Amino acid sequence: MTDIVGKSWADIKIIALEKANDLPDYKKRLLFEFKEIEKQGAMSKWEEFYNEKKKFDSNPNNLVLPWVLNLLVDCDDPMAGRSDKILNTVRASKVYEYIKKHDHAPSDFVKDPDMPDIDLDCLPKARDPIKEYAMKQYGKDINDGYGPVCSVGTWQTYKLRSAIIDTISAMGFEKSAAWEVTTKLPDEVDDLKDGGKALCKGRIIQNGEESECGHRHPNVKCPKCGSTDTDGPTIAKLFAEHEMLANFAIEYPDVITCAVRIVGRIRNMGMHAGALIIADRSLYGNVPLARSNNKGYWISMWSEGRSPQLSKFGYIKWDILGLKTLQYIFNCCKLIEMNRGISFGDEYLQKSGHSQDLPPAMTGWDDIDPSENRAGHFFDENGVKHDISLNDKFALSLADEQKTDGVFQFDTDLAKSILANGVTNFNDLLFYNAAGHPGPMASIPEAVDNRDNDTGWRKKLKNIHPQLLEILDDTYGIILWQEQLAAIWQNLGGFTAPEAQDARKAVAKKWAHKLRGIEAKWILGASKSIGSDNAKDLWQKMVSFGRYAFNRSHGISYCLVAYRCLWLKAHFAPEWWAAVMSDCHPDKLVRYMGIARSEGWKPTDITRLGNYNSSADVKSVVFDTLNMYNLTSDFTVTGNVVNQGMIGIKGIGESVAEQYEGRIDFTDIDDFIDKKGGKKKTILERFIKLGSFKNVPGHENSKALWTYYQYKYCTGKDITKLKSELREMLLAREGWDSSTINDEIDRQIKEYRNTFPNRRKIPPKITNWKPKPDDSREKIMSLIVDDFTAENILEFEKEYLGYYLHSPLDIYDIEGNCTIENAKEVFENGGSPRIEAVIIDIDFAQTRTHKDYCRLIVSDGVQTALVLIWENELRIQREENLVPGSGVQIPVDYDKSRNSFVLHRGDMILKLLRKGWDKKQCLKD
Ligand SMILES: [Zn+2]
């Protein structure tokens, strides 16, 4: 029988080594592969391959063994593409050798190479091109198929629901049975952990001492202590809570058993959207790689959470992040350029005309020089260059007044409350932005006090140590930046730069074990220069505030982005809001629209931007319908008016928007339809009903235009009646009725008889004759006198946009009691304001003490305001008055601390009457 047994693993090794005898590299690699195969106990697999001469159709992990054994098909020499530049960690023995030889440690030797991540914020649309660029640029010299750049992987783990779905299909049952259950289960079931168990939180007494039970079990009740308290769901608890899950478990017991077991295991690998590893050599052999199905990128299987491991090997992770604010700024500048001819990019200015496919470079924003108080520059429409001040008082006053909605970093209530401490220069903004975090926030009052009052802090710091004042001078005596921490350690505590760097990291990461040593070193060193009391005092501040300290350049960069937002918003509010509203979350649209209207702006006099025209009146930002002469997908600006974009209209998608987009000259709606199309009723109906043609001469009446459009372009049964009615009206207008028509027929018959006396039969053309009216657009439209009512228009806006472009108060009889604008003033002057507005949104909530209250967002067409109704008042309101869309009169107080209105104590919200309704009649009803 021995002759049919093929070669053994020992034989194969000999054959392979013989083949590689003259190739030392191959031999070396083979020996390595032998060792690995034996370690894995895979020898019999190779015997099988060899004896049956199974062919590999691809190169399995670049092994040399199948190649020398001729088991490979269509594959190149695996050694040829192999990079020998495999990274090694620094070995202690090597360092020791070096020190023995040179008497000092190698200068580039870093003991703990904890590399930082590098974050790069970019336009969201630019992220993928930047990634592609990095791969191309850094991979151009490495052609091994792997390259030096890869994406970073992410792992998805099994949750109960995904585990059930995958298990059921793996076991060959119908997936739909699982779907039915999993789609109905709440998200909480996914909190179930590996094995369906949880830790018991019951209290037990052991040896006379009370402690937590801590038993891990899958039951409802702990088998050890009987408690039902656990740190998460158990599988038995889920069965008890969700009957359908329990029933499913009865029907498919194996599915549940298996699914519970795989919960928490890795389900599949994904790709981090922005993270990249960029190395200086091929990643092959250095980083475990997998290839993504998507775009074919190589992905590091050291996934995101493992970046410390990556950095231990000297790799740096880049996070390329799309930042929406940059899109706002970019789009705003583009709109300003198109609307006002003002350019923020040098290159762009040189190119004549507005090239759509060449985006402006906006290099003007890079021209920053704090020593010259410059945050950038722009060119006015005449090509004259103007500097953008780093301390523009209008931009700063927006921040000072907390008008920072939509502004990067300052859009939250918390940020606004910090701004309330006053903003007079860029440095203030910088300080607030960096201090707006839990630790340093506590130091804001001290900093503001130091800034605004003669507290003698400079003298105090100088007395401690002159260098301390130098370090903390521009942050009002407060530790704000990482650099300040490092400088204090170095200058006052005698730390070396790496020691200071180490200390900073320990503080930031709260490494208790390291902090003790650092503290001792600091107290020892600093006591010599500033005395032990000061040293202890400073140490406390450094560990409490320093934890959150920003890196200074990061802080300044972010603040500059925020400053650009403020500057654009202050000087070009219509463009700013159009840009923000085109890209913001749809939920924010209505609020932003209200804020834009209420905050207003002062139209910029561009030639005097440096010395801004401060006497100009504050104007509300006006929103209007589409501009038919320049249709755009997003919001756009014409003059000082923000125009609705097409994408925001329900029923209009990207392809339709594309068809209509662009500037166009036309004389009337027929010409427009001729040039752009418009046979599709739904689209033109929206344009017309939203009043978009009103600016076209002769098209002022939208209802008349809508009638004409249906007459001319619509077909179908529902339109026949309208068409014949219109024809009748036109005829009547021209003086035709049945008797004049009959007279005319008689006249024609008479004429025919005279002309053809021998013919007996009168042609039907004459007997059935009907007059043909002039049904031109002008004539048809002149028949419709009344336009859509304000109420109609609001309905259209609500239906097609979901919000109001026009004032919703137009349909009500208002008494002129109070607008939101002057309610605050009336209240502060001791009056009792009654706001007249329309309810936009209602939100019922509970306070922390479980009291019901209600938040009303109301709009008077110009501004929006928040009105709070506390529990007592809420109880006495009439429900029908608390409905979105209803016009109401609200007696309010102004609550300064909340910067909002509160329904006056014991008072009620009254309904406004619709226009034309008889008040007495209404009250009787
Ligand atoms: Zn227990």
DSSP assignment of 638-671 equals: ETTEEEPPSTTSTT--HHHHHHH-EE---SSHHH
Average pLDDT value for the chain? 84
Q: How far is the CA of 202 from the centre of ligand 1 (A)?
A: 5
pLDDT band at 87 (very low <50, low <70, confident <90, very high): very low
Q: Encoding tokens for residue 770?
A: 């009907």
User: What is the reported pLDDT for 329?
Assistant: 95
Cα–chain-centroid distance for residue 876? 41
User: What is the reported pLDDT for 608?
Assistant: 56
Provide mean pLDDT across the span 537-550.
Answer: 83
Instruction: Supply angle C-alpha 4, 10, 13, rounded to 5.
Output: 115
Q: How far is the CA of 204 from the centre of ligand 1 (A)?
A: 8
> Percent of the chain scored above 70 by pLDDT?
89
> Is a pLDDT exceeding 80 seen at residue 24?
yes
pLDDT band at 303 (very low <50, low <70, confident <90, very high): low
Q: Nearest to residue 332, comparing CAs of 136, 123, 151, 150?
A: 123
- Segment of 69-78, 247-256, 410-419 carrying the highest mean pLDDT: 247-256
Q: How far is the CA of 235 from the centre of ligand 1 (A)?
A: 16
Q: How far is the CA of 218 from the centre of ligand 1 (A)?
A: 11
Rounded to whole angstroms, the Cα distance separating 798 from 885 reads 10
Rounded to whole angstroms, the Cα distance separating 523 from 532 reads 7
Q: How far is the CA of 206 from the centre of ligand 1 (A)?
A: 12
User: Which run of H or E residues covers position 255?
Assistant: helix 253-262
Lowest mean pLDDT among 64-78, 114-128, 796-810, 882-896: 64-78
Rounded to whole angstroms, the Cα distance separating 837 from 858 reads 6
> Is a pLDDT exceeding 60 seen at residue 613?
no
Helix (H, G, I), strand (E, B) or coil at 876: helix
**How many CB atoms lie under 10 A from the CB of residue 47?**
18
pLDDT band at 69 (very low <50, low <70, confident <90, very high): confident
Rounded to whole angstroms, the Cα distance separating 722 from 708 reads 10
> Is a pLDDT exceeding 60 seen at residue 286?
yes
User: What is the reported pLDDT for 346?
Assistant: 65
User: What is the reported pLDDT for 233?
Assistant: 93
> Is a pLDDT exceeding 50 seen at residue 89?
no
Q: How far is the CA of 210 from the centre of ligand 1 (A)?
A: 13
Which residues share a beta bridge with 837? 888
Which residues share a beta bridge with 711? none
Lowest mean pLDDT among 53-67, 762-776, 860-874: 53-67
Q: How far is the CA of 245 from the centre of ligand 1 (A)?
A: 25
Provide mean pLDDT across the span 317-325.
Answer: 90
Lowest mean pLDDT among 468-482, 618-632, 813-827, 862-876: 813-827
> Percent of the chain scored above 90 by pLDDT?
30
Q: How far is the CA of 221 from the centre of ligand 1 (A)?
A: 8
Residues 6 or more apart whose Cβ sits within 8 Å of residue 330: 123, 359, 362, 579
Provide mean pLDDT across the span 136-164.
Answer: 86
> Is a pLDDT exceeding 60 seen at residue 88?
no
Q: How far is the CA of 249 from the centre of ligand 1 (A)?
A: 25
Rounded to whole angstroms, the Cα distance separating 314 from 710 reads 71
Burial code of 229-238, b = ≥16 C-beta within 10 A, e = fewer?
A: ebeebbbbbb
pLDDT band at 588 (very low <50, low <70, confident <90, very high): confident
Q: How far is the CA of 230 from the centre of ligand 1 (A)?
A: 8
Q: In what order do the strands lie in the sheet with 289-291?
A: 118-122, 317-322, 266-278, 149-157, 298-300, 289-291
For 276: left if phi > 0, alpha if psi spans -120 to 50, otherwise beta; the answer is beta
User: What is the reported pLDDT for 523?
Assistant: 92
User: What is the reported pLDDT for 106?
Assistant: 62
Q: 317-322 and 118-122 as β-strands: parallel, antiparallel, unpaired? A: parallel
Q: How far is the CA of 211 from the centre of ligand 1 (A)?
A: 10
User: What is the reported pLDDT for 590?
Assistant: 79
> Is a pLDDT exceeding 70 seen at residue 759?
yes
Q: How far is the CA of 366 from the centre of ligand 1 (A)?
A: 63
CB 594 within 8 A of CB 840: yes
User: What is the reported pLDDT for 761?
Assistant: 86
User: What is the reported pLDDT for 921?
Assistant: 41
pLDDT digits (tens, 9 = 90+) for 649-708: 998 988 889 999 998 899 999 999 999 887 788 899 999 999 999 889 999 999 999 999
CB 303 within 8 A of CB 153: yes
> Which pTM value belongs to this model?
0.71
